[in-house]
Amino acid sequence: MTTLLHVKSSIFGEEGKSAQLAAAFIAQWKVANPDGEVVERDLVNEPVPHLDGARVMALMAAAEERTVEQQMIVDQSDELIAELVNADQIIMGVPMYNFAVPSQMKAYFDLLARAGVTFRYTENGPVGLIDDKPVYLFATRGGLYKESGIDFQIPFVKQFLNFIGLEQVEVIYAEGLSMGDTAEQSFAKAADQITAIN
């Protein structure tokens, strides 16, 4: 069975523009994969905890030395990683909030970064351990950032995904969504890009 993992991070739920683009992709994907399964990871309605000292220690502790509480933290991280590993394709809604990814998404990434599990260090640098697969990012922004030299969001997301082994990353941009006529044109262009994918 083909599996699509949908990672949601819009604080506006289904009304968010990134969520609307994802919904269009999923509808199209289901037609092409009638027997496929969509796994949804909603980082807003079911947020993962932000990183703190206790969580770092739990993720670094040897399996045989973990406390019950530490094992619960590791189990949650394992669940998130398994979703990535088991998916055939991944889509992520990535709205820009104050020049960055939603804090919920950063917390999610922090629980995915596991030395020896999702990446390892070698004498030639870090190597991602998750098998590569297509990832589509729906980058929605109120202003225009893509070619401005001040887009620190998508480069960060792509670097993180590459770090854990996911290198087939395609970005669909919908920018200028707070800029009147530009918004409608940009959103329509992004929707057209999605249509061309499947």
CATH code for position 22: 3.40.50.360
Q: What's this model's pTM, rounded to 2 decimal places?
A: 0.94
The structural domain count of the chain equals 1
Q: Which domain holds residue 63?
A: 3-197
What are the start-end ranges of the H helices in the chain? 17-32, 53-60, 68-86, 103-112, 153-163, 181-197
Answer whether 102's CB lies under 8 Å from 17's CB: no
In the block, tokens 């807003």 appear at 44
Kindly tell me the sign of the dihedral angle through the C-alpha atoms of 120, 124, 128, 132. negative
Give 66-125 pLDDT, tens digit per residue: 999 999 999 999 999 999 999 999 999 999 999 999 999 999 999 999 999 999 999 999
Main-chain phi, psi angles of 100, to 5 degrees: -140, 180
Cα 124 to Cα 140: distance, rounded to the nearest angstrom:
35
